[in-house]
A = this chain, B = another copy of it.
Amino acid sequence: MLAALTRAGYSNTRARRSVLEALFEANGQASPSELLVLGRAHHPALGIVTVYRTLEVLSELGLVRRLHQDDGCHTYAPVQHHHGHYVICVRCHRTIEFEGCDIGAVIASVEAQTGFKVREHWLEMFGLCPDCLAPGRDAA
By a beta-carbon cutoff of 8 Å, the part of chain A in contact with chain B is 68, 72-74, 87, 89-90, 96, 98, 100-103, 105-107, 109-110, 113-130, 133
Name the contact of A87 in the complex, choosing from B103, B116, B123 (C-beta under 8 A): B116
Q: Which residues of B contact A72 (CB under 8 A)?
A: 68, 72-74
Closest to A102 in B: B106
Give Cα A39 to B15, complex, Å: 48
Question: Do B127 and A120 touch (CB < 8 A)?
Answer: yes
Quick one: given A73-B72, A106-B103, are A130 and B113 in contact (CB under 8 Å)? no
B116 touches A130 (CB 8 A): yes
Further 4 A-B residue pairs, CB within 8 A, beyond A87-B116, A98-B110, A107-B125:
A68-B72, A72-B72, A87-B114, A100-B109
